[in-house]
Every structure is written in C-alpha cells, then in structure tokens.
Amino acid sequence: MASPNTRAQILDAAEHLFAERGFRGASVRAITDLAGANLAAVAYHFGSKAELLAAVVRRVVEPINDAQRTRFDTLLARTPEPTVTELVEAFAGPLFDGMRAGDEGGARTSRLIMRILGDPAEEMRAWTGSDEDAVRERYLTAFRRALPDLSPEELWFRMRGILAVAAVDRVEVYNRQLPDCVSPAVGDDARRWAITFLTAAMSAPPTGT
Amino acid sequence: MASPNTRAQILDAAEHLFAERGFRGASVRAITDLAGANLAAVAYHFGSKAELLAAVVRRVVEPINDAQRTRFDTLLARTPEPTVTELVEAFAGPLFDGMRAGDEGGARTSRLIMRILGDPAEEMRAWTGSDEDAVRERYLTAFRRALPDLSPEELWFRMRGILAVAAVDRVEVYNRQLPDCVSPAVGDDARRWAITFLTAAMSAPPTGT
DNA sequence: GGAAGAATCAAACGAACGTTTGAATGAATC
DNA sequence: GATTCATTCAAACGTTCGTTTGATTCTTCC
C-alpha cells in the first residue's frame, strides 16, 4: 500500500509533534510512525530532522506573512494614514486565520508559534527570510505614523505584545479547571477578543517618564 | 574540592538550561557539567530529571505567586473596590520582578515561563498547587467586579493575555536586527511599558456581538 | 515486458540519553 | 583513631536518538 503523498503526511505529523513536544522532544521515529511512513523517509524527503522542521515552520509562517502583506497593501490603497485599529486588524488577524480545523481549536498552531518565538535554538531560527523582515518594518513605520508620540522602543515592545497574545492565545495556560467560566474560546471569539484587547493596548498613551 | 552547595548550583544550571533548551533538550550531563557537579548528583539530590524540573519551576513560580497574593491583600486592605490599573499592577508586576540580575535582562526567566505556559508535557505540569489556583481566582473575581460588563469568557481571555505579554516580554522574537530602534528594554522600562499596555488592554470595552 | 528512476523498506550504525551501582571521600561524633 | 553518615565520584547499565546503508518495491516510459 503506497501512500499518495508521504511527504505531506510527514509534514502534518511533524507539525503536530513539534508543536506538542518541541523539536528535540519529537523523535523522527514518532513522526514517521504517526505519518504511517518509514523511518528513513524523513532523510529521503527532507534531508534531516532540522530541515524537516524548517519546512514545517515555513508552511505555517508563509501564509501568515503573505496575508499580512496583502492586507497591508489593500489597507494603504484605501487610505494613506491607517488607524491603529485597522493596522492591528491587518497585522494580528492573519495570526489567527492560520488556525484551521483539525487543529484542536488552534492550540496546536498556537503552541508551534510559541515554540518558534521562544526557542533560541539554531534549528528554530533557520527559517526566517527577508520577507518577514520587510512586512514587519512596513507595519512598524505605519504604526509609528499612527502613534507619533510613542518612542520606537515602546512601539517595538507593543508589537511584540501582539505576537505574544497571538501565540499564547489558545494554549491552556493553567492545567487546572477553568474557575467557573465555560468552554475555551471557540471559532472567531478569540480572534475578535484579541483584536479588541490589542487595539486598546496599542492605542494606549505613551508611558510617562 | 567540595563545593559548599552542589544542590543550589545544580538548580541554577538547570534553570538556565531548561529555559534555553527546554526540558528534553537540556541533558542531565549538560546541567551537571555547567554546575561543576558529578553526573549522579542530580539523582542523588533530586531523585530524577523530572523532579529537578519541578524544583526549578517551583523556585521561579513561588515568589511570583507569593508577591501576587500579598499585593492583592494590601490592595484590598486599602479599598474594597480596586481599579483595573491597580489590579493589573498587582497581578502583572510580580511577573517582572522575578527577573533578576544574571538573567540576561530577564530573557532567561521569560523563556522559562514561556516554556511552562506552552508545554503540555506531563513533567511541565507537575508543579502547580492549590495556591496558584486560589490567587488566580481572587484576582479573577476582583477583575470581574471592576469590569462588570465583560463576559467571564472574555475576561479569562484577557487574563491569559497578561501572562502572554509577561512571558514573551523579553524574548527576542525575531532573530534579525531590530529595525532601527535601539537596545532591547532594560531595567524597569519593560515593566512600565507592560503595565501601560496591559492596563489599556484590560480596560477595553467588551467586544461587541 | 523490460530497463530506469523514484520511493519505500528492514536493519544496523555510533552517539547521547537518564539512571543505577558500588567504591572513594569528606566531615562529624564517640 | 575508629565509626558513621552524607556526599561525590568513575564506570557501566539498557534505551533511544538521528542518520546511513543496500536491497526491494512501485511507477513510468520505451
């Protein structure tokens, strides 16, 4: 029984297990087992475990980056001076769109993004290209125009805050039961709450000296 | 040459390496080497690698939790109805106080907290006690009183946002150079920026239907 | 149907892993 | 000085790791 696309199944399994257990915690054997493939398939299709990780991360990051760029373009095509709300929506929105079905409500992608952000390991940092830098800088200058009173350092801090909220978004923070509030965020709720949360945060007046 | 306190040196080294490489990425050998101790010292002093992790996490989390509780008590001793700003300051402040000298500006503790929050592994979740739950719930009800219009679900989302910003706070999010803004946040800047950021975020009106 | 290339497979490689062991060392008590 | 207990040590345990190998299957095209 030959699978139609071993490569894609390995990518899926690796995305799952890298998010769940981290790069070093997810063994090649566990990945190929979950994918229903042979152990040697990773070396054959990707070269090494590190290159597999890079492929997984690229597959997650690229659509997000593309969406951020196109939404930035359509935004500036409409108005030369976008508001903070519009910029937050365009920048943060794609971070939530990437969380699709079969993703345990986005927790898996959230976890993967979190690992990407937090892991200083070489393998986790080998994926970025100049595209990510370019998009990020365009938003940065647009935000600076919309928030002229903010120092560059504080603005930078706030942009990282956006990524932080998106990353932790749907991860179970505590292992205990939720106090008495009900099910975790479903569907678009988390996304809309995040936009509200982040728009208010980005719009805050500069921190006084 | 007998070290005065092998146990503490192992805890320091483990905190460093667990933050830097994760639980599975930090080997017992690397930890004992960094601590200048023998390989078997971990088993002798802590029983196992997992119990060492629990001890490390406890040492980081407990002071934060204690500070959150005492600041909550002094706050309510002064006024029965604290403002959102006061609550954010009391809850988020201790998350930044834990980042001391020799911590690379807090990046190490940040990373460790991030791993604790994001890692679903059994070993990472074995530390929490009822103390953390109790403090968290007290803040939750206080926030609910200060923000009566917010649904419990959205309030819960926002409280996780506080943890998110604190966790990602000083982690280098991008691996490239900062665009043109200068050094990363130093000293109390990040803490004050975070309070500003989070107070505005928490005070945002409820997300419309 | 047979040659050719891509893909998959079982098996093995050395290295690194967490843990255990039993002897060697240190300091304190009698 | 001998005894005792806590601590440190080098060495080895079996397991799992990422990767490599060489043969085997599947697919494609002539």
A50 CB inside 7 Å of strand D? yes
Cα–Cα dist A2/A11, whole Å: 17
The answer to whether residue A133 scores a pLDDT higher than 70 is: yes
- CB contacts of A23 in chain B (<8 Å) are 25
B54 CB inside 7 Å of strand D? no
Taking CA–CA distances from A24, the nearest residue in chain B reads B25
Is B7 in contact with B45 (CB distance < 8 Å)? yes
Q: State the alpha helices, DSSP H only, in chain A.
A: 6-21, 28-35, 41-46, 49-78, 84-97, 107-118, 130-146, 152-168, 189-202
Q: What is the pLDDT of residue B193?
A: 93
The mean pLDDT of chain A is 85
Q: Which residues contact B195 (CB under 8 A, 6 or more apart)?
A: A207, B85, B88, B89, B92, B93
Q: Which of A25-34, B28-37, B125-134 has the lowest mean pLDDT?
A: B125-134
Q: Which residues contact A2 (CB under 8 A, 6 or more apart)?
A: none
Of all residues in chain A, the percent with pLDDT exceeding 90 is: 57
Q: CATH number of the domain at B1-47, please?
A: 1.10.10.60
Q: What is the spatial distance, in angstroms and rounded to an integer, between the CA atom of A41 and the C1' atom of D21?
A: 14
Nearest to A51 by CA among A4, A102, A7: A7
Cα–Cα dist A205/A194, whole Å: 19
- CB contacts of A154 in chain B (<8 Å) are 189, 193
The answer to whether residue A115 scores a pLDDT higher than 90 is: no
**What letter does residue B59 receive in the DSSP assignment?**
H
The answer to whether residue A185 scores a pLDDT higher than 60 is: no
CA of B4: nucleotide with nearest C1': D7
Q: What is the spatial distance, in angstroms and rounded to an integer, between the CA atom of A27 and the C1' atom of D15?
A: 14
Cα A132 versus chain centre, distance: 12
Determine the average pLDDT of the residues in A11-30: 93
Determine the average pLDDT of the residues in B48-71: 94
The answer to whether residue A202 scores a pLDDT higher than 50 is: yes
Positions on chain C within 7 A of a protein C-beta: 7-12, 16-22, 26-27
Q: State the alpha helices, DSSP H only, in chain B.
A: 6-21, 28-35, 41-46, 49-78, 84-97, 107-118, 130-146, 152-168, 189-202
For an interface test with A, the pick among B84, B150, B156 (most A C-beta atoms closer than 10 Å) comes out as: B156
Confidence of residue A181 (pLDDT cuts 50, 70, 90): very low
**Residues A101-126 as b or e (16 or more Cβ within 10 Å = b):** eebebbbbbbbbbbbbbbbebebbbe
Q: What is the pLDDT of residue B167?
A: 83
Q: What is the pLDDT of residue B181?
A: 47
Q: What is the residue extent of each domain of chain B?
A: 1-47, 60-202
B95-149 confidence digits (pLDDT tens): 887 665 556 656 777 888 888 887 767 667 777 777 888 999 999 999 999 999 9
Name the residue facing A153 among B154, B181, B199 (closest C-beta). Answer: B181
Q: Which helix (H) or strand (E) holds A80?
A: none
Q: What is the pLDDT of residue A184?
A: 52
Of all residues in chain B, the percent with pLDDT exceeding 90 is: 57
Q: Which of A42-51, B18-27, B194-203 has the lowest mean pLDDT?
A: B18-27
Beta carbons within 10 angstroms of residue B166's beta carbon: 30
